[in-house]
Each structure stands twice: as structure tokens, then as C-alpha cells.
């Protein structure tokens, strides 16, 4: 596998997905990651595809037309406040901003372009930095997410290519919008590994959420205890992903790669180091080649320490995808540090690795609890495999 067989979906456009200068979901995360990859030479000779806006017809694969019209009105400044609230807009999490429809459509279009690159254009892998909005519902925005590019892309691949899609979500927050969109379907399998909803938005993603009707068994949730560390997280991830891909036999894997499970992240309580974010894409890369001829689309997601965590975490996705992990040498390039340190709110990391974090006193207890959660979540898969 070489980088020439992977497509990078990225392009500065006139409509950034930006709620405000102070909102945690900030598009600067994308620019910082792209800049870091450029600084280490990881994008040399790469096919970079600039996204186009998704059409209203494509948005309506998942979203109600009344909601789409409300988003358009909001972006023009003509949406009534009361009406906005009924669509989940104008909230603290998902405020209205100028050109909201156009910006959100570009994010969806980028994820669709990544899917086309793999299923139509012959690339084995594709990475869209701007995607990963997994909380949006049919008629309601939620949790920083207006249009749900993840769900739209899955439905697009089903309709255009007849693909069986395994969706894998490692964001600290449960991928609720995607799960519920396909909860009754047997040709989409959703696997979400996240912090338990007892402490964190959106409060869903319990092991008992397994799908319904024809979709029973195709929704898999691994809610991990707060303060889960690297070893326990990676155990759950390896175990669940391997069993899910063996059980489901997908045509393509779509991964949502939120970076908010990191110890530094201000919006979650998980305790991962950057090492987990190096391992996550490496593992799925191997399984994609083993089970579905390499077909793998990766998208971004959450991650709210935009200076110290997201650029390294998301760079590791592309480096693993293109067999260029050797470029992540011990030290971050001085040129990147000099370019961005004057704008950063924190001291930028000088190395690709993290300093040692304090060990959580309850580590043994949390690890055992997570192991039992994995067993409960995978029980129905194992029973089906035994029948075969």
C-alpha cells in the first residue's frame, strides 16, 4: 500500500463550518492538521480532492426537507427563534451562523467524495478531515452537528453502490445520530466505543441498544467507564472491531475518528494518551485489507484540544492509512511549532508522544468493568457466530 492509493479530501472554501471564534468545534483544527502533515512531507505526491457541496437531494437521504429549509433560513438570518429551537438550532451547542447550510453541505459533500474515491475511483482508502458529524437527526441538529454527514454517506453508499457498511465510531461521545438512522437495518452495522452516557452527552449508547427488527444485532455499543486509560480502551477496541468485522463482513469500513477521548480534552473524562490515536487507525487499516480489500473511509469528528491533541491524532490517521508512520519521528518539526505557537493558547507539544500522565487510582477496577462491558456488548455476536 502506498500513498498514491489513498485520497485526501481537503479544501479551503468560502463557507467554513464555524459557529464562532470561541466555540470548541472550530475549523482551525483542520488547518492545523493539514499544516502538520505538510511539514513532515506526508502529502507529497498525494491526490488531494476538493469537496463540492452536497445537493439537497443527497441531504434528504437522511434529513427532513423542512429541517433543510430551516437551516437555509438560519444561515440567512431569517429563522424565527422559536422555530429554530424546534429544529435544535440557535442553542448553546449548535448556534446559528451565517451560510450555515452552505458550510454544512460542504462537509457532507467531502464525505461523499471520500466514499466515491474508494467505491468509484479505485482508491483503497480516503480521508476527509472535515467529516464526522454524528449527532444530527432527521429533523433536528444536535451536539455541534447540523447535517449528519456520516449517516448521509452511509445511505449514499447503500443506494449508489449497494454496499454493506460497517461504521466504527471512537469519539468519546456516542454516535447516536448514526445509530438511530440505521437501527432497523441489517446491511449497516454500527460500532460505537465511547464514554458511558452516565456522565456525558448524549446519554445514550448502552450495551442494551442492539438494534430492532431486521436490524437486531447490528448495533454494537461499548460504553467505557470514565477515566479509562490506553490499555483498557485498546483492548475493547481491538476485541470489538475484530469480532464486528468477522460477524458482519462489510464491503467497506467507515470510521469516525473523534479525538476527544484524550487526557487533555476539556469535554470528556476518558484518559487516553496520543498512543491510542496512533493504534486506532493502524488496527482498522489491517482489518480493512483482511476483510474488505482495503476499502476504508476515515472522517474526523470531535476533539476540542485543537492545539495539543487534534493535529497529532488526525495526522496519525493519514500516516497509518498510507504506511508513512515512520515520518512521525520523535520531534514535531520546528517549522510547524514556529508557525503556530504565536497563535496557540497552550504550549504546543514538541514531540509526537505525550509526557507521562498520572495513573488513575481506580485503574484495575475500571479495566475489569470495561472487560465485562465488552463481553456483554459482544454476547449476541458470539452466539450468532456459534450457530454458523
List, by residue number, the catalytic residues. 135
Note the helical H segments in 55-148.
Answer: 56-59, 65-76, 81-86, 100-119
Q: Give me the helix-helix angle, 310-321 and 274-291, nearest 10°.
A: 30
Provide the edge-to-edge strand list for the sheet that holds 219-224: 47-49, 6-9, 125-128, 296-299, 252-256, 165-169, 188-195, 219-224
For residues 245 and 208, the answer to whether their CB atoms sit within 8 Å is no
| Whole-angstrom distance, CA of residue 19 vs CA of residue 329 | 35
For residues 308 and 349, the answer to whether their CB atoms sit within 8 Å is yes
Length of the chain in terms of residues written: 388
| Residue 388 Cα to chain centre, angstroms | 32
| Whole-angstrom distance, CA of residue 257 vs CA of residue 171 | 6
Main-chain dihedrals φ then ψ at residue 344, nearest 5 degrees: -75, 145
358 DSSP 8-state letter = P
| Whole-angstrom distance, CA of residue 152 vs CA of residue 178 | 9
* Strand locations in the chain (E): 6-9, 47-49, 125-128, 165-169, 188-195, 219-224, 252-256, 296-299
Amino acid at each position: 500500500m502506498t500513498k498514491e492509493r489513498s485520497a485526501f479530501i481537503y479544501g479551503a472554501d468560502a463557507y467554513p463550518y464555524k459557529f464562532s471564534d470561541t466555540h470548541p468545534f472550530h475549523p482551525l483544527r483542520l488547518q492545523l492538521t493539514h499544516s502538520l502533515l505538510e511539514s513532515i512531507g506526508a502529502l507529497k505526491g498525494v491526490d488531494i480532492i476538493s469537496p463540492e457541496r452536497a445537493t439537497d437531494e443527497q441531504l434528504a437521504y437522511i434529513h427532513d426537507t423542512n429541517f433543510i429549509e430551516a437551516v437555509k433560513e438560519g444561515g440567512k438570518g431569517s429563522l424565527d427563534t422559536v422555530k429554530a429551537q424546534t429544529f435544535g438550532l440557535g442553542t448553546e451547542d449548535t448556534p446559528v451562523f451565517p451560510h450555515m447550510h452552505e458550510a454544512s453541505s460542504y462537509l457532507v459533500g467531502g464525505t461523499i467524495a471520500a466514499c466515491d474515491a474508494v467505491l468509484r475511483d479505485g482508491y483503497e482508502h480516503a480521508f476527509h478531515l472535515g467529516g464526522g458529524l454524528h449527532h444530527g437527526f432527521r429533523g433536528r441538529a444536535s451536539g455541534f452537528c447540523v447535517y449528519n454527514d456520516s449517516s448521509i454517506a452511509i445511505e449514499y453508499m447503500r443506494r449508489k453502490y449497494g454496499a454493506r457498511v460497517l461504521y466504527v465510531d471512537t469519539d468519546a461521545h456516542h454516535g447516536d445520530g448514526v445509530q438511530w438512522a440505521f437501527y432497523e437495518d441489517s446491511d449497516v452495522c454500527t460500532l460505537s466505543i465511547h464514554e458511558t452516557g452516565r456522565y456525558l452527552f448524549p446519554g445514550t449508547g448502552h450495551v442494551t441498544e442492539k438494534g430492532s427488527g431486521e436490524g437486531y444485532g447490528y448495533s454494537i455499543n461499548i460504553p467505557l467507564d470514565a477515566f479509562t486509560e490506553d490499555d483498557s480502551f485498546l483492548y475493547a477496541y481491538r476485541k470489538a472491531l475484530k469480532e464486528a468485522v468477522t460477524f458482519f463482513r462489510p464491503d467497506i469500513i467507515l470510521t469516525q475518528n473523534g479525538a476527544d477521548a484524550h487526557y487533555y480534552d476539556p469535554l470528556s473524562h476518558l484518559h487516553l494518551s496520543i498512543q491510542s490515536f496512533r493504534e486506532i487507525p493502524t488496527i482498522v487499516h489491517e482489518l480493512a485489507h483482511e476483510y474488505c480489500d482495503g476499502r476504508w473511509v476515515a472522517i474526523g469528528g470531535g476533539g476540542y484540544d485543537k492545539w495539543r491533541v487534534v493535529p497529532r491524532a488526525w495526522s496519525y490517521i493519514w500516516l497509518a492509512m498510507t504506511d508513512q508512520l515512520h515520518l512521525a519521528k520523535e520531534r514535531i518539526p520546528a517549522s510547524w511549532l514556529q508557525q503556530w505557537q504565536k497563535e496557540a493558547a497552550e504550549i504546543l507539544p514538541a514531540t509526537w508522544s505525550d509526557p507521562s500522565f498520572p495513573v488513575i487510582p481506580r485503574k484495575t477496577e475500571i479495566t475489569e468493568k470495561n472487560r465485562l462491558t465488552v463481553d456483554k456488548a459482544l454476547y449476541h455476536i458470539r452466539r450468532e457466530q456459534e450457530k454458523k
